[in-house]
Structure 1
Amino acid sequence: MTSTATEPLDHLIARRLEDALSPARLAVSNDSAQHRGHMGDDGTGETHFSVEIESAAFAGLSRVARQRLVNKALADLLATRIHALAIRARAPGEQ
């Protein structure tokens, strides 16, 4: 079993979102290398991420409400380990 302290953060993000939102499609990208030396870069190489997620949980919700669901699933990580998170959240059948 992998400890959350040593598990790659992109894997932990994916696991949390899978558990919370049962996505039909999920892609988590570590964008930290593009931000090396910028504000929020703590040297770990795990501070900036992008998420593309498709889930039935988003049906009928606004963009802001969808982002709130993602943020809720990752709340403790956003408070401690993630500096920036770009989110693209869709319901099934949306482009």
Structure 2
Amino acid sequence: MTGQPVIEQIRSRLQGAFAPSELEILDEGHKHAGHAGEGKGHFHVRIVSIAFTGQLPIKRHRMIYAALDDLMDQGIHALSIDAKDK
């Protein structure tokens, strides 16, 4: 993991992989205070990309997890995803 904040690493990877027309990344750690790691690393991604056209939701999620692969154990503890094709 670089010195770049996790949220910016997520943004960079998703922009590079999917060229989204919309991308919103929220740090939801405050909703998970008291959980393991005191809520650190909890994020919500809302992404719209033509790359998801014709893909089932589970496939869209897998595509996102693949793009964020090594971050899943090094900065991302939990990730909720809303991935649309338009």
Superposition TM-score, scaled by structure 1 size: 0.83
Q: State the SS of the aligned residue for 1:89.
A: strand
> Is 1:18 aligned to residue 12 of structure 2?
no
> Is 1:31 aligned to residue 25 of structure 2?
no
Q: CA deviation at 1:37?
A: 1.8
- Larger helix fraction of residues: 2
Percent identical residues: 36
Higher relative contact order (CA 8 A, sep 6+): 2
Distance in 1 between the 2:40 and 2:23 partners?
A: 18
Aligned length: 86
Name the Cα RMSD after superposition: 1.4
Aligned residue for 1:90? 84
Q: Which one has the largest radius of gyration?
A: 1
Aligned residue for 1:70? 64
User: Could you list the runs of 5+ residues in structure 1 that have no partner in the other structure?
Assistant: none
